[in-house]
A and B are shown apart, each in its own frame.
Chain A
């Protein structure tokens, strides 16, 4: 848009310092952190040059070890060594069909399951936060400063509870979450921008514990997700488990202890990986009981015992295609993501289904983190010249409310483009009724009991009226992270009904604050210094954004409005150089308030530009 380039040379702001931003792939098996350097996305390795961080957390006697450092404890201290914690995020004990496969001591807490460990009860959110914290520290060391923000990826098929849990974990790890990004979408960004792809693509993402299938339309710089489907409890882990079961059956050993289970699962995983390049692999193990396993697994046996799992991935593929009203032949290419897609039987099944070999051009372990880094760079405001793309993603599962008889009424349908707001009117059924309970659920099934309960809201303060006279408009808003918020208003009197939110899952802000304090009381980090550093990063970000806005649209302001903003900015600048974080926070809040009207005016202008920027004949007939 040429209009943005007309600033006079002397008004051009000094080139902004790049904001430090990272993309994080928080995986079931491995996690990664990446950033954009000199216009190129790169994974940040640890000090030994290893790009991956195994998603393993060991709660030892002297604190938590994460990654390779925790690996040795897998067998030796299996109850205190947590793997695949992603499968537990936002899940209650009753949601875990495979709970017995884990060697942990589960505690059935309301909303989300907890784990009994040496250091006390831990939620999956806290365990994930340990992994994220390790990656934050790695990135800060590599980039030389506090991070302005991070994009954290989630499986596209994660529901609201799982997304909220992931965001909570990131906050707990001291990250400013710029966006939760769907993993297949992240992969599509990395792939699309790298290959200049145009057309309709499918992303087949089989990770360690989750499966996603997204269909995207890539056209002239717009990544538009048409449909997504998946299974948040299906991944490479399940293939390991089949091999494990096969070993026990054919070797006639067992029952086995928790640590032997771990040992055999590791052997199973090794065998699976060997079979990617070999026709057969030996499996040898000695259990703590003295029993031995000495056998050979062939690729064809492996394919046979995992047939069901492979076909289980094809059901969501069909569903997504149906939702997008497309046939396999209309898909231009299938991008393979996730280490588990290396399995030959997966490659073969996908090639057969789509009638074309899938695309494996990018490292399936890294592509999600790289895409997240690209998005983080853009969101942090480090817009790259000539790079003008837009991402339109969807909500994976329908949102609805409980109606009479335990049935669900859908309010936001699945695959609706986000952000989205939908309003629904409810009324009272008794004379003089002043409160109303609303139960929000997510899922596709008709019965409430078959859907995921997200929250129960109590609307209070409804003016007393005869039954059916009150009109309570409840608005459901899903933001660009795919997270839901709800507000309500009584229409006839305009009374804003108060909402008491009782989340069925997740953490209240107070919990996060408490956990942050607890974790940091034990950490070596100086909490006050960190809070100040965070406020300073925020100040820099906001100043840069405001300067950018003034340079582009400063003409929208009157002299006095301009003076007020300049004064607010000067105050922030002055306090950011000092060390009073409370004063700085207040100045930031004040700058936010002062720029509110300016923000609205800028938005108006970008809308009128968007419409007038189009060709004249597209407006014909208006």
Chain B
């Protein structure tokens, strides 16, 4: 069965870095599931079926964690002993916070005015910010000494992802 003490990167045979070729992750994920998925062991004995279930669940969990940019960063930091999204320390930089509060206000206004075009523009804007933050996060995480800065980036990135999800929800609301 798979070694549960192995970190997710090692599980997929990937370098322990924020940036990697996602096609490589996909290929390793599929190769592993081909070997261990419960469907492969449906006719096997009880022990094998249980192992397949546990191993396959672990591989799915690992894949999910590495596929998503925020959770990958969080996981990478946790391997360095840094709890980026813990509940004890949730401070955001004041200028970031100010910007986002203004953005949230615009979203609420656009939603109230049922202005889908404005919402779509805000979504584009937020997604572009997400791209910028991801690039900065990658530099910090894959560089030598940027782990502490990366912690702030992760929090802000998560904040932005939530803002984007809220805009999407508002757009859905207008659709219905």
**B75 CB to nearest A CB, Å:** 14
Task: Give chain B residues whose Cβ lies under 8 Å from the Cβ of A417.
Answer: 60, 63-64
Interface residues of A in 382-402 (CB under 8 A from B): 388, 390-392
> Which of the segments B33-41, B131-139, B155-163 contacts the partner chain?
B33-41
Asked if B172 CB lies within 8 Å of chain A CBs, one says yes
Q: Which residue of A lies closest to B1 (CB)?
A: A603
Task: Give chain B residues whose Cβ lies under 8 Å from the Cβ of A610.
Answer: 31-32, 34-36
Q: Are A613 and B31 in contact (CB under 8 A)?
A: yes
> Which of the segments B49-57, B77-85, B92-100, B111-119 contacts the partner chain?
B49-57
Q: Are A381 and B38 in contact (CB under 8 A)?
A: no
Q: Are B53 and A416 in contact (CB under 8 A)?
A: no
**B14 CB to nearest A CB, Å:** 7
Asked if A622 CB lies within 8 Å of chain B CBs, one says yes
Asked if A78 CB lies within 8 Å of chain B CBs, one says no
Task: Give chain B residues whose Cβ lies under 8 Å from the Cβ of A327.
Answer: none
Q: Are B42 and A600 in contact (CB under 8 A)?
A: no
Greatest chain A CB density within 10 A among B42, B53, B56 is at: B42
Q: Which residue of B lies closest to A376 (CB)?
A: B42
Q: Are A607 and B36 in contact (CB under 8 A)?
A: yes
Q: Are A419 and B60 in contact (CB under 8 A)?
A: yes
A10 and B113 CA atoms in complex are apart in Å by 78
A479 in complex: contacting residue of B2, B32, B45, B53, CB < 8 Å: B53
Asked if A342 CB lies within 8 Å of chain B CBs, one says no
B43 in complex: contacting residue of A322, A381, A420, A613, CB < 8 Å: A381
Q: Are A422 and B27 in contact (CB under 8 A)?
A: no
Asked if A315 CB lies within 8 Å of chain B CBs, one says yes
A544 and B42 CA atoms in complex are apart in Å by 12
Asked if A606 CB lies within 8 Å of chain B CBs, one says yes
Asked if A591 CB lies within 8 Å of chain B CBs, one says yes
**A98 CB to nearest B CB, Å:** 22
A318 and B168 CA atoms in complex are apart in Å by 12
Q: Are A599 and B61 in contact (CB under 8 A)?
A: no
Interface of B is mostly: helix
A38 and B134 CA atoms in complex are apart in Å by 53
Asked if A2 CB lies within 8 Å of chain B CBs, one says no
Asked if A171 CB lies within 8 Å of chain B CBs, one says no
Q: Are B39 and A480 in contact (CB under 8 A)?
A: yes
Asked if B24 CB lies within 8 Å of chain A CBs, one says yes
Q: Are B175 and A318 in contact (CB under 8 A)?
A: yes
A618 in complex: contacting residue of B28, B46, B47, B176, CB < 8 Å: B28
A379 in complex: contacting residue of B2, B30, B43, B53, CB < 8 Å: B43
**A588 CB to nearest B CB, Å:** 9
Q: Are B32 and A422 in contact (CB under 8 A)?
A: no
A611 in complex: contacting residue of B13, B54, B63, CB < 8 Å: B13
Task: Give chain A residues whose Cβ lies under 8 Å from the Cβ of B56.
Answer: 419, 480
Asked if A619 CB lies within 8 Å of chain B CBs, one says yes
**B58 CB to nearest A CB, Å:** 7
Q: Indicate whether A592 sits within 8 Å of B61 (C-beta atoms), given known contacts A479-B38, A606-B35.
A: no
Asked if A88 CB lies within 8 Å of chain B CBs, one says no
Asked if B148 CB lies within 8 Å of chain A CBs, one says no
Asked if B44 CB lies within 8 Å of chain A CBs, one says yes
A519 and B90 CA atoms in complex are apart in Å by 60
B2 in complex: contacting residue of A315, A392, A420, A603, CB < 8 Å: A603
Asked if A418 CB lies within 8 Å of chain B CBs, one says yes
A419 in complex: contacting residue of B2, B20, B31, B57, CB < 8 Å: B57
Asked if A604 CB lies within 8 Å of chain B CBs, one says yes
**A538 CB to nearest B CB, Å:** 10
Q: Indicate whether A416 sits within 8 Å of B46 (C-beta atoms), given known contacts A611-B13, A622-B15.
A: no
Q: Indicate whether A606 sits within 8 Å of B39 (C-beta atoms), given known contacts A591-B45, A611-B13.
A: no
Q: Are B42 and A379 in contact (CB under 8 A)?
A: yes
**A229 CB to nearest B CB, Å:** 12
Encode contact with A along B136-176: 1 for CB under 8 Å, 0 otherwise: 00000000000000000000000000000000100010011
Q: Are B54 and A421 in contact (CB under 8 A)?
A: yes
A567 and B61 CA atoms in complex are apart in Å by 39
Asked if A380 CB lies within 8 Å of chain B CBs, one says yes
Encode contact with A along B57-76: 1 for CB under 8 Å, 0 otherwise: 11011011000000000000
Task: Give chain B residues whose Cβ lies under 8 Å from the Cβ of A614.
Answer: 13, 27-28, 31
Size band of the interface chain A makes with B: 35 or more
Q: Indicate whether A603 sits within 8 Å of B48 (C-beta atoms), given known contacts A318-B175, A420-B60, A477-B57.
A: yes
**B57 CB to nearest A CB, Å:** 4
A318 and B63 CA atoms in complex are apart in Å by 26
Q: Indicate whether A622 sits within 8 Å of B45 (C-beta atoms), given known contacts A417-B63, A419-B60, A600-B51.
A: no
Q: Are B37 and A390 in contact (CB under 8 A)?
A: yes
Q: Which residue of A lies closest to B175 (CB)?
A: A318
Q: Are A596 and B47 in contact (CB under 8 A)?
A: yes
Q: Are A416 and B64 in contact (CB under 8 A)?
A: yes
Q: Are A421 and B57 in contact (CB under 8 A)?
A: yes
Q: Indicate whether A599 sits within 8 Å of B48 (C-beta atoms), given known contacts A614-B31, A618-B28.
A: yes
Task: Give chain B residues whose Cβ lies under 8 Å from the Cβ of A611.
Answer: 13, 28, 31-32
Q: Are A391 and B39 in contact (CB under 8 A)?
A: yes
Task: Give chain B residues whose Cβ lies under 8 Å from the Cβ of A545.
Answer: 43-45, 48
Asked if A542 CB lies within 8 Å of chain B CBs, one says yes
Task: Give chain B residues whose Cβ lies under 8 Å from the Cβ of A179.
Answer: 39, 42
A598 and B34 CA atoms in complex are apart in Å by 19
A478 and B38 CA atoms in complex are apart in Å by 12
Q: Are A622 and B43 in contact (CB under 8 A)?
A: no
Encode contact with B along A350-382: 1 for CB under 8 Å, 0 otherwise: 000000000000000000000000010011110
Asked if A222 CB lies within 8 Å of chain B CBs, one says yes
Q: Which residue of A lies closest to B12 (CB)?
A: A611
A420 in complex: contacting residue of B1, B27, B61, CB < 8 Å: B61
A592 and B51 CA atoms in complex are apart in Å by 13
Task: Give chain B residues whose Cβ lies under 8 Å from the Cβ of A603.
Answer: 1-2, 36, 48, 51-52, 55
Task: Give chain B residues whose Cβ lies under 8 Å from the Cβ of A421.
Answer: 54, 57-58, 61
Q: Are B1 and A600 in contact (CB under 8 A)?
A: yes
B176 in complex: contacting residue of A222, A315, A546, CB < 8 Å: A315
A378 and B43 CA atoms in complex are apart in Å by 9
B45 in complex: contacting residue of A375, A392, A599, CB < 8 Å: A599
Task: Give chain A residues whose Cβ lies under 8 Å from the Cβ of B172.
Answer: 318-319, 322
Q: Indicate whether A599 sits within 8 Å of B54 (C-beta atoms), given known contacts A480-B38, A606-B36, A610-B31.
A: no
Q: List 10 A-B contacts (CB under 8 A).
A: A19-B43, A179-B39, A378-B42, A390-B33, A480-B53, A595-B45, A606-B35, A610-B36, A611-B13, A619-B13
Q: Which residues of B contact A (CB under 8 A)?
A: 1-2, 13-15, 17, 20, 24, 27-28, 30-39, 42-48, 51-58, 60-61, 63-64, 168, 172, 175-176
Contacts beyond the supplied A322-B168, A419-B53: 14 A-B pairs with Cβ under 8 Å: A315-B176, A379-B43, A392-B37, A416-B64, A417-B60, A418-B60, A480-B39, A549-B44, A595-B47, A595-B48, A600-B1, A606-B36, A607-B32, A607-B36
Nearest 10 CB-CB pairings of A with B: A381-B43, A379-B42, A606-B35, A610-B35, A599-B48, A596-B47, A421-B57, A621-B15, A610-B31, A599-B47
